[in-house]
Amino acid sequence: MKPKFDVIFLEQAIEFVENLDNKTRTKIFYNIDKAKLINDPKLFKKLKDEIWEFRTKYNGIQIRLFAFWDKTEKTETLVISTHGIIKKVSKVPKGDIEKAEKLREEYFNQKKL
């Protein structure tokens, strides 16, 4: 089965994932790989306008990696992971969605250069 998209991690997402323990990191990458193959809102879900989230629940902890689509190239659509959080409340904090929107804007501004 061919993946539906590729994933690129921005610096903040790399730093977030690197600070997690190995088992949690492995579970996140497993879920991302699974989300590339099947459409499952438990793994990958639209939050607002252009912002999506990769969802992982491991050992009772909810981990979210924020993402957006980059459809500017002719290659497979890319999903860019902006940053991550360990979710403590049921609703995604508005500030994290705004941060993802800002990182998306910066990404496309840099791409124009």
The string of pLDDT tens digits covering residues 8-18 is 999 999 999 99
C-beta of residue 16 within 8 angstroms of C-beta of residue 84: yes
What lies within 8 Å, CB to CB, of 50 at 6+ separation is 68, 69, 101, 104
Residue 39 lies in a domain: yes
Of 104, 21, 34, which is closest to residue 63 (Cα–Cα)? 21
Q: What CATH number should be reported for the domain holding residue 92?
A: 3.30.2310.20
Q: How confident is the model at residue 71, as a pLDDT?
A: 85
Residue 1 lies in a domain: no
The domain containing residue 71 runs over which residues?
Answer: 6-112
Using 50, 70 and 90 to split pLDDT, how confident is the model at 63?
Answer: very high
Residue 10 lies in a domain: yes
pTM of the model: 0.89
Total number of domains in the chain? 1
Residue 90 lies in a domain: yes
76 pLDDT higher than 80: no
